[in-house]
Chain A
């Protein structure tokens, strides 16, 4: 299993956390795990919505000290 790749999108308004995640997902291989860090309040819901719709896998989704930590496995 590959190491978890951190996508640090804290304190960014453009291109924003989900767009950053999509960029990194495209650069990753199937089976890779990415952890998105986001200070955007909406990420806790926006990111799982996209991940589930496109068919990847949410491993965990939690907010720690004001930062969303969302782990995703690339499934396709």
Chain B
């Protein structure tokens, strides 16, 4: 049985490690082989980018060697896939090598596409890459007064990031003693300040208390860089001194180039996590078209389901459980407090008041991630 995992991010790494443990006997007896193909020999802890943007972490703290995170039995190659030939159960990599499989796991992730909005690349700062997070921090250090505007592209990964950014900005400028000279204005695509109703209900009085201005039903249409104005599809505009964007995302180019899904998102069964029409192809994390948060947390819980089902298919001939839509997101509510949102397909989150211990837990998790991604936590 040949299992091929494409993608070495959170989801792919957890699946591969979990499978290697569950199937250790089968691997030793050479009845199962696990191969991982990734575009990079490094693994980034992406949630750390927000800390880089506030000068609380440095980029080198976000990386580990991918090989060091994998079980020894996993055959790992830095050789990204260029062609998916699903009808022949095989892929072709950038180097030209062909990998055949019996079971394929697709965990290729997503990418930012700020270029889809005119002026956004030139006019807005972001924090979704190492370089842009560092640049944003330098801009935050420079600013002395004026309007900091935050806009949110659709779709975007880590849906909690926009409110975390706002809380972080408030605390950052307060710590510098210039909060009264900075106007923070938040813009959000739908008719409340967060897509999760419970988060919106909780965050609104917090925004009011902190003096955050907000405008809802604001989908960015363009940035007029020369005049420092950001405009919305809904016909409104905001003048800014510093513009910060949560950029819109798409699935990876290789998914689009192989016509596997509109927008680069692969049509996926929300319970089985299999690609529609392909029972031997599993999809997880940002790669799916599911109406589920694009977060490492969702990828983690999906990876556990996928690994358990693949292992049980090999051991007893059938998958054993469905994905229930579980997501757990920390919400940093400033530089020294946090809460969390946990929900699934059937149960909305029940937000607790922010606390310092929850913030310490999040800070601990920033280190524990490396244990988690190894499949040990």
Contact = CB atoms under 8 A, between A and B. Distances in A.
Interface string A8-47: 1101111111111011001100000000000000100010
Contact of B217 (A8, A9, A11, A50): A50
Contacts of A17: 291
A23 B293 CA distance: 13
A54 B190 contact: no
A46 B325 contact: no
For chain A, the bracket of interface size reads: 20 to 34
Interface in B203-222: 217, 219
B233 A54 contact: yes
B154 A19 contact: yes
A15 B217 contact: no
Nearest to B346: A11
A23 B153 CA distance: 10
A24 B349 CA distance: 25
A49 interface: yes
A53 B234 contact: yes
B155 interface: yes
Contacts of B325: 11-12
A50 B154 CA distance: 14
Nearest to B348: A13
Contacts of B195: 14-16, 18-19
B178 interface: no
B345 A23 contact: no
Given A19-B154, A22-B190, A49-B191, A14 B292 contact: yes
B189 interface: yes
B262 interface: yes
B197 interface: yes
B154 A22 contact: yes
Contacts of B159: 14-15, 19
A11 B327 CA distance: 13
A24 B201 CA distance: 26
Contacts of B262: 27
B260 to A, nearest CB: 14
Nearest to B116: A26
Given A19-B189, A19-B190, A42-B197, A14 B327 contact: yes
Interface in B347-366: 348-349
Nearest 9 CB-CB pairs, A to B?
A12-B291, A16-B195, A11-B345, A23-B155, A14-B293, A18-B190, A22-B154, A27-B263, A19-B195
